[in-house]
Amino acid sequence: MLTGSLGAGQAKPSVPTESDLAFARNAASDVLTKGDKDSSQPWENPETGARGSVTPLAQAYSSEDGRTCRDFLASYVNGRTESWLQGAACQAGHGRWEIHTLKPWRSLIPAPLGQLQKCHGLPR
């Protein structure tokens, strides 16, 4: 059995905690409710030190059940760890947005960075 406390020098988690995700979901709902074009909503979890922002993508679309939905990206920064989350939300009652998907973002380009640098003549 391991016992001990978390020290200041210990690595931060590389994946968002449930608490971090709750802050990101709230920020997504807020920015989508405002409906401003080209806007982002920052978020921060004082408990874990994680932070980021949520940015809606493209235009709203209709889901199969007729609700208005929208996709978004959320940044996640915790210590030296940086990553992206992708999400989707649909309008619920009273104009609020309900987040139904929030997961790690997967690039459409699966090639390793070295291959991309070589293909595009980028410095390594």
Q: What is the pLDDT of residues 2-28, one digit of tens each?
A: 444 444 444 555 689 999 999 999 999
Domain presence at residue 2: no
How many domains does the structure of the chain reveal? 1
Backbone angles phi, psi at 18, to 5 degrees: -60, -35
Give yes or no for residue 55 having a pLDDT over 50.
yes
Domain presence at residue 13: no
Would you state the pLDDT for residue 13? 53
Domain presence at residue 113: yes
For residue 24, the tally of other CB atoms under 10 A from its CB is 26
Q: Which residue has the higher pLDDT, 105 or 6?
A: 105
Domain presence at residue 42: yes
Domain presence at residue 108: yes
Contact 122, 98 (CB under 8 A): no
Domain carrying residue 69: 18-119
Whole-angstrom distance, CA of residue 77 vs CA of residue 103: 15
Whole-angstrom distance, CA of residue 85 vs CA of residue 80: 16
pTM (two decimals): 0.72
Average confidence score pLDDT of the chain: 80
Would you state the pLDDT for residue 1? 46
